[in-house]
Structure 1
Amino acid sequence: MKQLLYILIVLCLVGSPFSACRKAYETVPLGQQITADLAFDPRDSLGKQAMTYLLTTYQQTFYSGHNRIGGNYLDAASDDAVASASGIPAVQAMATGAYSATLTNGDDIWSRSYAAIRNATVFIVNINQVPMIEKLPNGQPARAAYRSEARFLRAWTYFQLIKRYGGVPLMGDSIRQITDNIQLPRASFSDCVNYIVSECDNIKDSLRTAAMVTPNTYGRITQGAALALKAEVLLYAASPLFNGGNIESGNPLTGYTSYDANRWKLAADAAKVIIDGGAYKLMPNFNDVFITQAAPVGPNTEIICWMQVGSPDNRVEQSNAPVGYTSAGGNGATSPTQNLVDAFGSDSGYVITDPAAHFNANDPYAHRDPRFNLTIFHNGSLWLNRQVQTYNNGLDKPGGTVQQTKTSYYLRKFMGAFESVSNNPPSYSGTYHDWVYYRYAGVLLNYAEALNEFSGPSTDVYNVIYALRKRAGILTDAGNTYGVPQGMNQQTMRNFLRNERRMEMAFEEQRYWDLRRWKIAAQVYNEAPLRGIDLQLSSSGQLFYNPIQVLKTVFRDPQMYLYPIPYSEVIKNTQMQQNPMW
């Protein structure tokens, strides 16, 4: 059986390494790969074994964010959601500070990351001895592109580490064995940022452009991914947590030791390169961003870098759909908070506290930002030919011991465009649930934030918001302002952009990190409990919306702005310095 699987993988690689034989390559177990001697055979002119190794490295590096933290989205460890499960799920432990250097949290990625870095380095060091004859559409050797893909995976992994831990050991191109006694100090945060940015600069010209991607090379890392990674790294480096707000003044491991406003300009300039390149554009429909594949396989013009999760299926729906939809297998794992619901404005673009929004507390879901209905299921949402019922004893909040919403809301985002059918129970087709790391809307938001922080509101900053709101379907007026206040100062624009980002990027593993890099997590987590509603339906059919508290979150300031280095790493490496207060 193993031999048959290996043959299937190799046959896949001959023609379509990332698309045609999706199921075959995804069944390669993590940690099992062919040896370096076999993978990098100087006689293998097609590089088939080397490609098997690279595909495995992709799989070991990338992870899907769908319900990845103990069955929940990372956002359920922020103020945007809570886990519906009883007990203390992993995300709840994270949201309440129930972890330490010895009791790691559900997002600890240290060991996995260094294993992925080593595997990528093995490919980087050895691929040049394989005489691959393949060429890219522009005539340049494909081998250089594949080597740059591995360098991207390594750089991306380092970024995942530094945003969690600060400066980390940089391994370079050394390939150490598991038996080696590795005593390496952590590199400074600045050195790590410079290394990642340098890698992105060095590989971008040898990677495929978006225009070079064919159905046979679908899913490969492209030039756009390298540019997006560079822009995001520079945005984080410019953000308050690391740039001027170092949690331990003078400690180069936990951030820069002085503030530099020019870091915001570097971040803005990096994002502008992608915008000016014109390779990507916003999708006309917000929901289609998450359920359609990228060009040239699909019509998606917005996604830049993503993880292929598999063939069309219903796993996201089964995990997160309202529990009353037994035909969909709804398990209702995620309960969005009232805090997030209140962040969505009206369909005319005004915040709900603005009289111009005409918000009606007795009909609170009417005339809201269209992204709201594509992100959150609320009472009355239409799905699979019936309305969602989240009032007490409704179909989707039945009470008892079954897992169900704690807030009267369920996650809607990432779910497919379902068939409208009349049979009972209704059916629906499978949907692509590829996990998107970088998309054009995020690049626009990064650009607007960095530009505003460097030089204040400008026409470019306003135009980003207009573009996102126009695509969202926000109504506009004669001035085409989409409800955006005019004449904002830098602080007002900062708050406005942060809320726009919260709406646009909900459940995409942005909010959790944004609260930290903006250095407002202590305020948000400790200020007030997370909220929901207790929805009652009277015998006369009237609904009563009663606010409730669902979770008191905890954030130890400044300790929790960075994760602790795992205790096992500290005790085996005498040069490994622990993060402050851990």
Structure 2
Amino acid sequence: MNFKRSYKFYAMLLIMGIAQTGCIKNETVPLDIKTEDLIYDKMDINGYYADQALTNLYTFLPKGFNRVDNSYLDAATDDAVNSQLSGNIDILAKGLQSPTQVVDDAFASNYTGIYRANQFLSKIDVVPITNSVKTFDKAEARFLRAMFYFELVKRYGGVPLLGDQVLNLNSNLKIARNSYADCVNYIVSECDAISGQLRTEPITTTLLGHATQGCALALKARTLLYAASPQNNPGNDAAKWTSAANAAKAVIDLNYYALNASFVSAFLNRADKEVILGFQQAKNQTLETAQAPVGYTNDLITSRGQTSPTQDLVDAFPTIKGLPIGTDIKSGTNTTGFDAANPYANRDPRMGATVFYNGQQWLGRAVETFEGGKDKPGGTLVQTKTGYYLRKFLPDLSAASAYSTQDHNFIIFRYAEILLDYAEAINEAADAASNRSTALAQLVLIRKRAGLTAGTPANYGITATTQSQMRDAIRLERRLELAFEEHRFWDERRWNTAGTDFNKTRHGITITKTGTTYNYQTKNVDNMVFIAPKMYLYPFAFSDLQSNTALTQNPGW
């Protein structure tokens, strides 16, 4: 659901206070014009409209795919660029955001979600559904409310906490910000309170996408990881890292979630034990249309190639042995197996599952991103800027002739992230060999699933004998495993490293073809700009500051 600037939080309270929208069940009266008395009906023994109100809360969750002006948030990182000549994502990538030009502004939508959650919690008791269902419903609404606060806090730092208030025309709308610590404590306390009240896995197919106990524990783990990170823990309090590690371990100890044997399949299954929470939507082919290489276009197929992954990301993927690509094998000093004349061979399989590269099979032919190729023809057609297209989240259509509808449900929490959260937190909690060993075990699980070879010793290419080296290994693994899942943009901020890593030139590859031989030459694509320290937090929009004069702007804006 998109909200125009005029639909700010405070205006929503005044003119949309009782509005609801729903899309799950057939309606005799559109939900957006129903009154509270109809939605929360004392005579509705099935809770029909109240169920729609709860379902509506899920529409405020992060949707991920092409979310910012038809671009991935990762196009504002060193992992990708927008294939369009310009777009709102470039405002984020080039340091142009300001209080009068806010991109990825989540203030209005998340506070609207919080308002509706509070309204639901204040009204649901009058609906004569069973107590067990009511307990589940209340816990879900509280989880979603906590999730909306997390989405606000990671952008703005401390924000106003409303508790259970349902604001109305007579409410004081001049509400000061709570501290970051207050907000973290609130989110964590809510997760603790509801984790035992939510449904436990496995849930029925009809409830797929509803919050479960694992969701609350995963949100707690992510919240505490952010709180322990350098951006929010400048004194490096080890106790905060220990709390984050324990929270991630609690998800692991549920002994339900597991890595899918296939890295690709984890993103294509509506129900999967690796997925803790996904934003559910109807089957579609929008990702194939939006992201596949532009040369795959005919009367039945449209391919727009909107995202161009960078050479920087491609180079970050190791060889099949888990080792950095390093020196060309022809030098005689390299044992990784990397061949600069055939750069996509013998690489981490996740590379080919994340990006389309020259020669990769798709819809019955090889991708052509060499100069003048079908997928990089030149001219005015929007096409790759880097020599790559986004492959992740798409099914195996190498031998297909057309697109078909697929499950594309943006994953908000998955088990691989939990393993990485645990690895990071346990490594930072103490500079000890036992902690590094535990962290390494999580990385090994992920690399083994990815299809890398173990090597000797069986560490899948990871050699980290110090806390700092393990930190680097974990951060690299997050970049590779979680690419385009809206993590790197925030990871670089919470690590306080965006001022360096997002102030660089983004690169691509120029491929020229002579006969059957390809020549590869790295090229500069554009420069990122990150203005530290102010860009570590978003600015509040000027209109929000006018609406709530008690709201104070973030430093530097």
What's the counterpart of residue 288 of structure 1?
Answer: 265
User: Match of 2:418?
Assistant: 443
Task: State the SS of the aligned residue for 1:310.
Answer: coil
Q: Indicate the residue corresponding to 2:476 in structure 1.
A: 499
Q: Which residue of 2 aligns with 1:6?
A: none
Give the structure 2 partner of residue 552 of structure 1.
Answer: 527
TM superposition shift of 1:46: 1.4
- Going from structure 1 to structure 2, the CA distance change for 1:230 and 1:556 (only over 3 Å counts) comes to same
Q: CA deviation at 1:32?
A: 2.4
Superposed displacement of residue 466, structure 1? 0.8
TM-score scaled to structure 2, two decimals?
Answer: 0.91
Does 1:231 find its partner at 2:225? no
Provide the C-alpha distance between the structure 1 equivalents of 2:106 and 2:29, rounded to a whole number of angstroms.
18
Between the aligned partners of 2:221 and 2:206, the Cα distance in structure 1 is 28
| Partner residue, 1:64 | 63
CA contact (8 A) 2:362 2:398 kept: no
**What do the CA deviations read for 1:62-83 (whole angstroms, capped 9, x no partner)?**
1311101111100000110000
CA separation in 2, counterparts of 1:209 and 1:480?
A: 35
Q: Deviations over 1:182-225 (max 9, x none)?
A: 011000000000000000000111100012x1122222110000
- Structure 1, residues 309-332: CA drift from partner, whole Å, max 9, x if none? 212x21101000000011431100
Q: How much has 1:365 moved relative to structure 2?
A: 0.7
Match in the other structure for 2:443: 465
**Residue number in structure 2 paired with 1:150:** 141
Q: Is the 8 A contact 1:419 1:429 kept in 2?
A: no
**Secondary structure of 2:196 counterpart:** helix
Number of the residue aligned with 1:208:
199
Residues 88-138 of structure 1: per-residue CA shift (max 9 Å, x gap):
211111100111011112x111111111110111011111221213xxxxx
- Give matches, 1:336-375, under 5 Å: 336-353=309-326, 355-375=334-354
Counterpart in 2 of 1:316?
287
Closer/same/farther in 2, CA of residues 387 and 419 from structure 1, 3 Å limit: closer
- Following superposition, the deviation at residue 579 of structure 1 comes to 0.4
Q: 1:419 to 1:78 in 2, by over 3 A?
A: closer
CA change 1:259–1:469 in 2 (3 A) is closer
Among candidates 182, 194, 197, match of residue 185 of structure 2: 194
Note closer, same or farther for the CA distance 1:142–1:171 as it changes in structure 2 (3 Å cut).
Answer: same
After TM superposition, the structure 1 = structure 2 runs for residues 513-524 of structure 1, keeping only pairs within 5 Å, are: 513-524=490-501
1:355-504 to 2 correspondences below 5 Å: 355-418=334-397, 420-421=399-400, 426-456=401-431, 457-477=435-455, 479-485=457-463, 487-504=464-481
Q: Does the residue aligned with 1:556 lie in a helix, a strand or coil? A: coil
CA RMSD of aligned residues (A): 1.9
Which whole-Å CA distance do the structure 2 matches of 1:511 and 1:112 have between them? 23
What secondary structure, in the 3-state scheme, does the structure 2 residue paired with 1:371 have?
Answer: helix
Q: Is the 8 A contact 1:419 1:428 kept in 2?
A: no
Opposite residue 170 of structure 1, the aligned amino acid is L
- Amino acid in the other structure paired with 1:534: T
Is the contact made by 2:362 and 2:399 (CA closer than 8 Å) also made in structure 1? no
Give the partner amino acid of 1:302: E
Percent identical across equivalent pairs? 43
SS at match of 1:234: helix
Name the counterpart of 1:78.
77
Among candidates 509, 512, 517, match of residue 533 of structure 1: 509
CA deviations over 1:459-489 (Å, ceiling 9, x no partner): 221111111011001012354221221x520
In 2, the alpha carbon distance for the partners of 1:89 and 1:30 equals 35
Alpha-carbon separation, structure 2, partners of 1:453 and 1:28:
55
Q: Deviations over 1:521-561 (max 9, x none)?
A: 010122x30000111112x3321112111111101110100
Residue type matched to 2:51 in 1?
A: M
1:144-178 deviation line (CA, Å, top 9, x unaligned): 11011011111000000000000000011111126
C-alpha distance in structure 2 between counterparts of 1:27 and 1:361, whole Å = 60
1:337 and 1:532 in contact (8 A); partners too: yes
1:319 to 1:180, Cα distance in 2 relative to 1, 3 A: same
CA–CA distance in structure 2, aligned partners of residues 418 and 544 of structure 1: 27
Give the counterpart letter for 1:550 in structure 2.
V
- 1:419–1:427 Cα contact (<8 Å) kept: no
More displaced stretch, 73-82 vs 451-460: 451-460
TM-score, L = length of structure 1: 0.87
The aligned counterpart of 2:110 is 113
1:30 and 1:371 map into 2 onto residues whose CA distance is 45
In structure 2, give the amino acid aligned to 1:342. D
The structure 1 residue matched to 2:275, chosen from 278, 303, 325, is 303
- Cα distance in 2 for partners of 1:374, 1:575 equals 48
The letter of the residue matching 2:505 is P
Unaligned runs of 5+ in 2: 1-21, 328-333
Gaps (5+ residues) in structure 1? 1-21, 134-139, 245-257, 295-299
Q: Is 2:252 aligned against 1:261?
A: no
Cα distance in 1, alignment partners of residues 551 and 30 from structure 2: 27
Change (3 A) 1:380 1:371: same
Distance 1:27 1:97, change over 3 A: farther
Q: Flag as ranges the 4+ runs of structure 1 deviating above 4 A.
A: 22-31, 178-181
In structure 1, the partner of 2:3 is: none
CA contact (8 A) 1:204 1:227 kept: yes
Structure 2 residue identity aligned to 1:115: T
Pick aligned residue for 2:253 from 276, 294, 298: 276
**Which residue in the other structure is 2:11 paired with?**
none
Say if 1:23 and 1:310, in contact at 8 Å, map to a contact too: no
Q: How many angstroms apart in 1 are the aligned matches of 2:441 and 2:381?
A: 46
